[in-house]
Structure 1
Amino acid sequence: MAQTMMKKIVASSACLVVGLTRRTSSRSLVTASKNLNAKKERDLPNEGEITKSVFMSQSTDIYTNLALEDWMYRNMDFTKHHVMMVWRNEPCVVIGRHQNPWLEANLPLLSEKDIALARRNSGGGTVYHDRGNLNVTFFTPRERYDRKYNLELIKRALFRGFGVKSLINERQDIIVRDKYKVSGTAAKLGRLTAYHHCTLLVNANKADLSKALAKREHGIQTNATASTRSEVANLSEVDNRVTVDSLQTAIGYEYLRTAALSLEDGGQNQISKQRGFQFVNPTDDWFPGLAELKNELQTWDWCFGRTPAFTVSRSFPVPAELLAPSKVYSATQELIINMTVENGLIDDVTLNIPPGLVESGFHGEASVITHLKGKRFTSEALSALQEAMLTRHLTKDVKKLDDKEQFVAKCFDQVVNTV
């Protein structure tokens, strides 16, 4: 019976969403947007004319859920209908629109553990998601974007539902026990529509979170937005009654019982006026064009290529056994690698070869360096470097780098993989 009821709810919400998309094509939505934007001020409804829905995504794929956010932001009209979406993901790291993934995430670990990395459309810092996180997105018209309203509503739900006391700090994080962060926040504001989203730590794997976001030696200099590190806690540590499902229900009902523009508590009477909880299935059948948005969010060009320009400089002491044996050097012999990276691609690179390595036979000809320009700042560049060093040998049957070349390749590998 429960399964049948769920199917009915899903079907009803499908009608809602598909109905919206069928009545209004993407072209007419764009036209309507332009017409509305041409007005100096929009006529927005009174509070009593606004209804609310809680959308519950049935996907746990980060790219699908980010695409769903973007689809709703681009296509839905929230003038008289405000929406709160709740969603969760399999393990992943999500960076802000203007961030550098090589700085923010432990990329070798993500690759090893098959943890997805995604870049979202909103700003803000980097977060780790797993099934122990609850993500919440509030959609409104641009003029009615109100981050404080949303956070106060969550704070009130925590207390009403579980007796958990929290506060909102100056960074608009939600804090428990005076110092532990349980929620970060970010937003995207367009000309007509806005959304504010946050992630709540319920029973996330904090060990995996720490490893996935671990800081390492990288030598990167950039103007990209940097994350602020904070001590974190799970809400289940504060009260073991807090689960992702129970928190989703508590915040959902708090949202429905609260007036649309003020924090007035309307109780059950207010809930009865709303559209309620609705399961949504993020597919092209429900949201035409969603797959295209998802595919774009998964590309290397979006996740890495949209990184603001940066430079990287690393130095590596040369092992004594690789130096010219008949020489004594007064200074430490260091190989220095400098790079400029734009759009995730190597734009310029220099190798400063110490005298001890030159005198032992390694020269680092310009032809080796030119092979790197335009290569991705990944192991793709390492492969190009190794190939270039091999092809410079006069003997064509040389298929293995010598000890000095292997050292240079190892140092380069540490640079492009930031370990």
Structure 2
Amino acid sequence: MAQSMLRKFVVGNMVVVGLVRRTSARSLATAASAQKDKNDQKNLPSEGEITKSVFMSQSTDIYTNLAYEDWMYRNMDFAKHHVMMVWRNEPCVVIGRHQNPWLEANVPFLGEKEIALARRNSGGGTVYHDRGNLNITFFTPRERYDRKYNLEIIKRALYRGFGIKSTINEREDIIVRDKYKISGTAAKLGRLSAYHHCTLLVNANKADLSKALAKRETKATASTPSPVANLADLDNKVTVESLQTAIGYEYLRTPALHMEDGGQRLISKQRGFQFINPTEDWYPGLNVLTNELKQWDWCYGRTPEFTVSRSFPVPAELLPSKLYSATQELVISMTVEKGLINDVTLNIPPGLIESGFHGEASVITLLKGKRFTSEALEALENAMLTRHLTNDVRKLDDKEQFVAKCFDQVVNTV
């Protein structure tokens, strides 16, 4: 029989008692516990019994904040206590759970600028964060998840606090001036709990945003880009701090289940604003979640299979002019699965074969299983070097350098 124990978790100035199972997470629930869950869902508290809190994360690390979201989702009971978390990060790109980072982001640019890439647990599209973004997460029981309610609170806060008019489009983005996107949205719905999160552009670095989210051509489904605007461009009084205060108070003055202005009277009945320090000491198990989100296998290895193919005209000086007067092309095609090269084809013009690099199966085999990064380029260069007849030659000739340069462009550029 599965054993479990009660454990206390500190959340702000509250103590949350959670049930910690000692069995595997895959253990099946008994018929009795399943029936209890159904009864609990039917007996959700009335609106008057629900209080609200605004949690303000003190971390600016994307992996820590995403892990804290997941920790709350797993451990807290939101039946009588709805929570809105506000947070921001150092520069990073965040992709949806099922997205392709090489398709959605300019991965080489992220490396050059030391911009983190993170994969979140929710769906939705890719977004850029920096300290000029305000990120918001709404936590409720699954049965009381209401994305439109949450977005309406933001919309009302923008107008009440700054006189900024906005609309919510069919994709549930928040739009200003009829076309500029200021907020994207995503969600995760579980058996008992749910969260909806979105990001608001306040004074983000739009130049880095544009470069970080540059697209590359692959045979996969990409996010739909939209023109964006910073709220500070509309009103210079809007800052991340003033916006989180405006949205926080709008959240606290609104009843939990319907749109109505409860004013100061309702605010006084809520649990208010609370500073949150997401650390292992306060939230046992948080470090494990954070470390999982940092792993290459999660950020890149969870990518669905995709293919990429590019053609490169061969410079005339690299070909025997008397025999090859027509334009010759080097074609590189790769299939990438779970972030690793699964198949690769190098269609090399005959004129390049004479360089001593023959594109033989032994060379191609060395590329399979390599990460779709500079690791694959290094493997190709080493393979070409092994083709040299003398061991003391450790430099690629001009034709081999051309092949390597083209391969580098496939792997490391958009």
TM-score (norm 1): 0.91
8 Å CA contact 2:357, 2:384 repeated in 1: no
The residue that corresponds to 2:91 in the other structure is 91
The residue that corresponds to 2:266 in the other structure is 270
The residue that corresponds to 2:20 in the other structure is 26
Matches within 5 A, 1:328-367: 328-330=324-326, 332-359=327-354, 361-367=356-362
8 Å CA contact 1:318, 1:334 repeated in 2: yes
SS of the residue corresponding to residue 249 of structure 2 reads helix
Report the alpha carbon displacement of residue 180 of structure 1 after superposing the two structures with TM: 0.8
State whether structure 2 residue 323 is matched by structure 1 residue 314: no
- What letter matches 2:405 in structure 1? K
1:361-411 residue CA offsets vs partner (Å, 9 max, x unmatched): 442111111001111000001111111111122211121111111111111
SS of the residue corresponding to residue 94 of structure 1 reads strand
Structure 2 Cα separation of the partners of residues 307 and 280 of structure 1: 32
Root-mean-square deviation over aligned CA pairs:
1.9
CA distance 1:192–1:13, shift in 2 (3 Å)? closer
SS of the residue corresponding to residue 308 of structure 1 reads coil
8 Å CA contact 1:336, 1:352 repeated in 2: yes
State whether structure 2 residue 168 is matched by structure 1 residue 174: no
Structure 1 Cα separation of the partners of residues 244 and 12 of structure 2: 21
Structure 1 Cα separation of the partners of residues 402 and 271 of structure 2: 64
The residue that corresponds to 2:106 in the other structure is 106
Structure 2 Cα separation of the partners of residues 76 and 108 of structure 1: 38
Structure 1 Cα separation of the partners of residues 19 and 13 of structure 2: 16
The residue that corresponds to 1:54 in the other structure is 54
1:311-345 residue CA offsets vs partner (Å, 9 max, x unmatched): 11111111111112331333x21111111111000
Report the alpha carbon displacement of residue 191 of structure 1 after superposing the two structures with TM: 1.1
- What letter matches 2:226 in structure 1? S
SS of the residue corresponding to residue 371 of structure 1 reads helix
8 Å CA contact 1:37, 1:192 repeated in 2: no
State whether structure 2 residue 405 is matched by structure 1 residue 410: yes
8 Å CA contact 1:169, 1:175 repeated in 2: yes
Q: Which residue, out of 255, 259, 284, partners 2:255?
A: 259
Q: Which residue, out of 367, 383, 386, partners 2:381?
A: 386
The residue that corresponds to 2:366 in the other structure is 371
CA distance 1:33–1:90, shift in 2 (3 Å)? farther
Q: Which segment drifts farther, 380-389 or 350-359?
A: 350-359
The residue that corresponds to 1:74 in the other structure is 74
Structure 1 Cα separation of the partners of residues 64 and 307 of structure 2: 32
Q: What are the ranges of 5 or more consecutive residues in structure 2 without an aligned counterpart?
A: 1-9
- What letter matches 1:221 in structure 2? K
SS of the residue corresponding to residue 63 of structure 2 reads helix
8 Å CA contact 2:53, 2:272 repeated in 1: yes
Q: Which residue, out of 273, 276, 295, partners 1:299?
A: 295
- What letter matches 1:236 in structure 2? A
CA distance 1:149–1:37, shift in 2 (3 Å)? farther
Structure 1 Cα separation of the partners of residues 140 and 171 of structure 2: 22
1:124-167 residue CA offsets vs partner (Å, 9 max, x unmatched): 11111111100000000111110000000100011111111111
- What letter matches 1:211 in structure 2? K
Report the alpha carbon displacement of residue 242 of structure 1 after superposing the two structures with TM: 0.9
CA distance 1:265–1:322, shift in 2 (3 Å)? same
- What letter matches 2:211 in structure 1? K
- What letter matches 2:398 in structure 1? D
The residue that corresponds to 2:3 in the other structure is none
The residue that corresponds to 2:122 in the other structure is 122
SS of the residue corresponding to residue 84 of structure 2 reads strand
The residue that corresponds to 2:219 in the other structure is 221
SS of the residue corresponding to residue 79 of structure 2 reads coil
8 Å CA contact 2:355, 2:400 repeated in 1: no
Q: Give aligned-pair identity as a percent.
A: 78
CA distance 1:32–1:338, shift in 2 (3 Å)? closer
The residue that corresponds to 2:242 in the other structure is 246
8 Å CA contact 1:33, 1:192 repeated in 2: no
1:278-319 residue CA offsets vs partner (Å, 9 max, x unmatched): 001010111111111111101110110011110111111111
Q: Which segment drifts farther, 23-32 or 409-418?
A: 23-32
Structure 2 Cα separation of the partners of residues 129 and 302 of structure 1: 19
- What letter matches 2:115 in structure 1? I
8 Å CA contact 1:138, 1:150 repeated in 2: yes
SS of the residue corresponding to residue 232 of structure 1 reads coil
SS of the residue corresponding to residue 228 of structure 2 reads coil
Structure 1 Cα separation of the partners of residues 386 and 270 of structure 2: 70
CA distance 1:38–1:351, shift in 2 (3 Å)? farther
SS of the residue corresponding to residue 324 of structure 2 reads coil
CA distance 1:47–1:28, shift in 2 (3 Å)? farther
1:76-124 residue CA offsets vs partner (Å, 9 max, x unmatched): 1111111000000111111111111111111111111111111111111
Report the alpha carbon displacement of residue 25 of structure 1 after superposing the two structures with TM: 4.2
The residue that corresponds to 2:230 in the other structure is 234
Report the alpha carbon displacement of residue 258 of structure 1 after superposing the two structures with TM: 0.4
- What letter matches 1:228 in structure 2? T
8 Å CA contact 1:102, 1:418 repeated in 2: no
8 Å CA contact 1:379, 1:416 repeated in 2: yes
Report the alpha carbon displacement of residue 219 of structure 1 after superposing the two structures with TM: 3.8
